[in-house]
Structure 1
Amino acid sequence: MEVSVRELLEAGAHFGHQSSRWNPKMKKFIFEERNGIHIIDLQKTVNQFKTAVQFLAHCIEQGEAILMVGTKKQAKEIVKTAAQQCGAFWVTERWLGGTLTNLQTIRKSVGRFKEIEQMQADGTMAQLSKKESASLTRELHKLKKNLMGIREMDRKPGALFVIDPNREKIAVEEARRLGVPIVALIDTNCDPDKIDYPIACNDDAIRTISLLVTKVEEIILQARGMNKDKASNVEAQASQEIA
């Protein structure tokens, strides 16, 4: 699964930031400056993407998990939907400090999340006072919002896939500290040296994010020996079983 220069152009992936906001380390990925805006060399983006997805596919084939991170408004739903579809973990709300470096503490919060879910399911909450029930409902909502995407992640992932590492600084720092390889969509204001597999592109454009994240999703599904239709059927069957 590759991406073409034409697809990237149509998605607006070539538009970087204003030249005054650039990170000089991105110079090698910039084609030119046009009207005060840096234009990204999309042929390099194509090559970077190919290398990055080959690595992600290898991770899946080795039984490793992928954690997808995108908390910016443009990326949230795209990342969450793709992760759910391909079986990756995801963080699309606030990154909780220690998600990687203090995983045991995070697992305790997940345990609390599951405990309240069980109380809700078996009718225990219905027997509590309105005040106690309301308090637990609020706690459950907060835990679900922050932990739903990593509730089954009991060890560090094989790779971190990030939209805009400048925004996800803490996630990147934790991954680097633990030696977790990072794949990231990086704009002209980012530091590529912190990323193992950088993909230079417009990381603010919804069309660009959607194009590349969807292709990553398809790569992961292929590596699992599945396609989108099969994944949708599995998800539907799982939902029916739960119901």
Structure 2
Amino acid sequence: MAQITMSDMLKAGLQFGHQTRRWNPKMKQYILTERNGIYIIDLFKTLDLIDAAYDFIKTTVAHNGTVLFVGTKKQAQEAIKAQATRVNMPYVCERWLGGMLTNFQTVSKRVNRLKELEEMDFTDVHGSGLTKKELLLLEREKDKLEKQLGGIRNMNRTPSAMFVVDINKEALAVSEAHKLGIPVVAIVDTNADPEAVEYPIPANDDAIRGIDLLTTLFADAVADGLLARSGNAAKASDNAGQASDQPMAEWEKDLLTENAHTVSVDVREDAERRGPKDAKDASENLDANSEQARAAGEYAAEQAAADVKAGNADETPVLKEEEAASIADHDASQN
């Protein structure tokens, strides 16, 4: 659940909407009243929607998702960049380039170009083999790409969700997200359409303090999702280790022994049901196997004694007579 109070939202001025003549009728359900020609937003409804959006962002990140922070208006640029950087998420705080999502393959090539230029030393004229003018033009190209694409340089695929400040200002970004089926969490003022996004947050999208408060809040949701992701990975690793290293329990050993004894008894009873001759044959086979096992045990014991006497004994365990007889009984029961 989001860690935000009604007092925090009131202090940040999130309750103030636009003038009554600049409103979207679809926002009527989120408007509390009108005062001095300005709509007042119902922050109780805003708080409920914040909780739902917070849980969505947290769950998305916990399942290895990525959230793209978007806010190109002056009031939002600093907060968007700072909070997205804090949680290591991509962001766009300058002009939104058309096709940044729908033509992501081409945008990725420009990002790779930016990374190539960043590896160049523009002060080394002799080592680069380029003139000063050529180096200057390349440096300007790098600065331009850094300004436009620096926030998404580590975004290797389209995001799983978007957080947007002012959907009227970022209409192109929201449109591209919808084409790709990317859910959008957005601050929606009284002059916007709340049905244009999946998770609208009715609030003032012009106040710097309000934008900073909500951007920080959803960055915290990302941080919580990252913690949940690392916790799930550690838990899965521990479970895998325990499953591979856990010894067999005593009850499992007893069960296996009991099953082996039951099989032996069943074989004898089955032979008796088939007739005296079969029962006699089975008994003779068991006796023969027992005699063979005893002979093998005696021979192994004699060999071990001879090795010890000769000084050539190794660590191989000697088969006892009782163990050999037990093994023979088990083999006969299986046959």
Instruction: Using the TM superposition, give the Cα deviation of residue 122 of structure 1 relative to its aligned residue in structure 2, in angstroms.
Output: 10
Q: Verify the 8 A CA contact 2:122 2:136 in the aligned structure 1.
A: no
> Residues 105-157 of structure 1, C-alpha deviation per residue, up to 9 Å, x if partnerless?
00111111111112238957854211101100110000000111111212111
Secondary structure of 1:161 counterpart:
strand
What residue in structure 1 maps to residue 195 of structure 2?
Answer: 193
User: Take 2:154 and 2:220, find their aligned partners in 1: how far apart are those partners?
Assistant: 22
% identity of equivalent residues: 48
1:114 match? 115
Greater CA drift, 147-156 or 188-197: 147-156
Secondary structure, in 3 states, of the residue corresponding to 1:96? coil
Q: Counterpart in 2 of 1:8?
A: 9
In structure 2, distance between residues paired with 1:121 and 1:180: 39
Q: Cα offset for 1:224?
A: 1.0
* Structure with more helix by fraction: 2
Letter in 2 for 1:8: M
Where does structure 2 lack aligned partners over 5 or more consecutive residues?
229-335
The answer to whether the Cα contact below 8 Å between 1:2 and 1:46 also exists between their aligned partners in 2 is no
After superposing the two structures, state which structure 1 stretch, 136-145 or 209-218, moved more: 209-218
Q: 1:27-84, CA deviations, whole angstroms, 9 ceiling, x for partnerless residues?
A: 0000001111000000011111110010000110010100000000000010000000
Structure 1 residues 60 and 122, CA gap change in structure 2 (3 angstroms): farther
Residue 190 of structure 2 is aligned to residue 183 of structure 1: no
1:5 CA displacement: 1.4
Structure 1 residue 217: deviation in Å? 1.3
3-state SS of paired residue (2:163): strand
Per the alignment, residue 47 of structure 2 pairs with: 46
**TM-score normalised per structure 1:** 0.90
The structure richer in strand per residue is 1
Give the 5 Å matches for 1:37-116: 37-116=38-117
Is residue 217 from structure 1 mapped to residue 219 from structure 2 by the alignment? yes
- Of 154, 162, 165, the residue aligned with 1:163 is 165
The residue that corresponds to 2:210 in the other structure is: 208
Per the alignment, in what secondary structure is the counterpart of residue 21 of structure 1? coil
Q: Which residue of 2 aligns with 1:148?
A: 150
Segments of structure 1 that go 5 or more residues without pairing to the other structure are 227-243
Q: Once the 2 structures are TM-superposed, how far is the Cα of residue 3 of structure 1 from its aligned partner?
A: 1.7
Contact 2:189 2:203 in 1 (8 A): yes
The whole-number CA distance in structure 1 between the counterparts of 2:128 and 2:219 is 40
SS of structure 1 residue aligned to 2:39: strand
Equivalence for 1:23? 24
User: What is the CA RMSD across the aligned residues, in angstroms?
Assistant: 1.6
Task: Please give the alpha-carbon distance, in whole angstroms, between the structure 1 residues aligned to 2:131 and 2:214.
Answer: 49
> Which residue of the partner structure matches residue 34 of structure 2?
33
How far is 1:2 from its partner? Answer: 2.8
Q: Distance in 2 between matches of 1:2 and 1:191?
A: 26
Query: Which structure carries more relative contact order (alpha carbon 8 Å, separation 6+)?
Result: 1
